[in-house]
């Protein structure tokens, strides 16, 4: 029995994933990079102002992250197949 009406109507939604292993850390980093790049492009299209760091090469950062996580035993080839 719930303690109160508020507890009974609360829906549990996991909006913040705490990574438990190296593969989840890599996935989270690459997702954040993709989100940031998409938002930067959308902002530029609307405001026509250059982003704060216009010379950042997100694809190169993605490659570096994937190569470094490969040393930890993360299946980066599998990740690339699923997310490319």
Low-confidence ranges of the chain (pLDDT < 50): 1
| Phi, psi dihedrals of residue 2, rounded to the nearest 5° | -65, 150
* pLDDT, position 12: 57
pTM: 0.66
26 contacts 74 by C-beta, under 8 angstroms: yes
- Those residues whose C-beta lies under 8 Å from the C-beta of residue 74, and which sit 6 or more positions away, are 22, 23, 26
* pLDDT, position 40: 86
* pLDDT, position 74: 84
């Amino acid at each position: 029995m719930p303690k109160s009406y508020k507890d009974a109507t609360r829906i549990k939604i996991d909006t913040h994933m705490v990574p438990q292993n190296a593969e989840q850390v890599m996935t989270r980093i690459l997702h954040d990079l993709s989100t940031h790049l998409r938002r930067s492009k959308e902002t530029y299209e609307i405001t026509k102002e250059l982003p704060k760091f216009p010379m950042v090469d997100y694809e190169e950062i993605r490659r570096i992250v994937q190569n470094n996580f490969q040393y930890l035993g993360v299946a980066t080839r599998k990740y690339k197949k699923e997310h490319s």
